[in-house]
Amino acid sequence: MADEEIKVGTEEKDIPKATARRLPIYYRYLKILLDSGVTRISSNELAKAVKFDAATIRRDFSYFGALGKRGYGYDVKELMDFFGNILNQDNLASVALVGVGNLGHALLNFNFHQSSNARISAAFDISPDIVNTIQSGVPIYSMDDLEQQIRDQRIEVAILTVPTAVAQEIANRLASAGVQGILNFTPLRLDTPKNVRVQNVDLTNELQTLLYFINTFDDKK
């Protein structure tokens, strides 16, 4: 089945979902290269850095027109600025964290803004021990204030780390409050309106998949 196509950037280009997933990786490595003094790079050299084959990189870049020059390669700064503009890196996005348990606390302690254009600006929980406190510089609100704070702060993205039993209910509340994207750390596959994109992060599944490939590789030795 062909990759799902999504719209990216100010010119509303339709590109495969797999390509869109790789754009932040390109941006991050280009920034590292530029900080290291690299000003020009070929697709083969970039392939060694990001661990994608050069043909994939050239195909991804081809969706955006002529980004490089034959015999010259790519200007690192120009390419980084180009992808930064597509990824809207100049605008800092406010993110809500819903559920401040062990995983939630770990995410609060991780400073997204150091490596991306997002920051957690509000968190929500039911525990009276942390509601109305500030954790890692982020105010913790009661779940009763969820919709109001989402609207007041114009938050469009939420991270969901609540128990599975209440995940769908919270997702419904987030959607009704105007959230357009949910990063879902719960095992539940959420049912959301078409205008709300869900990105599932199942750590257990990822670990089991990794173990499967390790065991399969070992069996072939």
Q: Measure the CA–CA gap between 90 and 4, rounded to whole angstroms.
A: 27
Nearest to 43 by CA among 20, 10, 6, 69: 69
Residues constituting the chain: 221
pLDDT given at position 13: 56
pLDDT given at position 11: 46
pLDDT: is 146 or 12 the higher one?
146
Q: Which residues are annotated as a binding site for NAD(+)?
A: 99-104
Q: Measure the CA–CA gap between 173 and 176, rounded to whole angstroms.
A: 5
pLDDT: is 11 or 34 the higher one?
34
pLDDT given at position 113: 55
Res 156 pLDDT > 70: yes
Q: What is the band of 110 on the pLDDT scale with cuts at 50, 70, 90?
A: confident
Q: Measure the CA–CA gap between 81 and 79, rounded to whole angstroms.
A: 5
Res 167 pLDDT > 90: yes
Report the Cα–Cα distance between both ends of the chain, in Å, rounded: 32
Query: CB-based burial of residue 116 (10 Å sphere; 0-12 exposed, 13-18 middle, 19+ buried)?
Result: middle
Residues 200-206: contacts with CB within 8 Å, 24+ apart? Answer: none
Q: Which residues are annotated as a binding site?
A: 99-104
Q: Measure the CA–CA gap between 10 and 86, rounded to whole angstroms.
A: 7
Q: Are 80 and 27 in contact (CB under 8 A)?
A: yes
For the stretch 78-98, pLDDT in tens is 998 888 888 766 566 789 999
pLDDT given at position 90: 59
pLDDT given at position 126: 96
Q: Which domains does the chain have, with CATH numbers?
A: 5-86 (1.10.10.10), 93-205 (3.40.50.720)
Q: Which two tokens mark 78?
A: 């120009």
Q: Measure the CA–CA gap between 206 and 122, rounded to whole angstroms.
A: 28
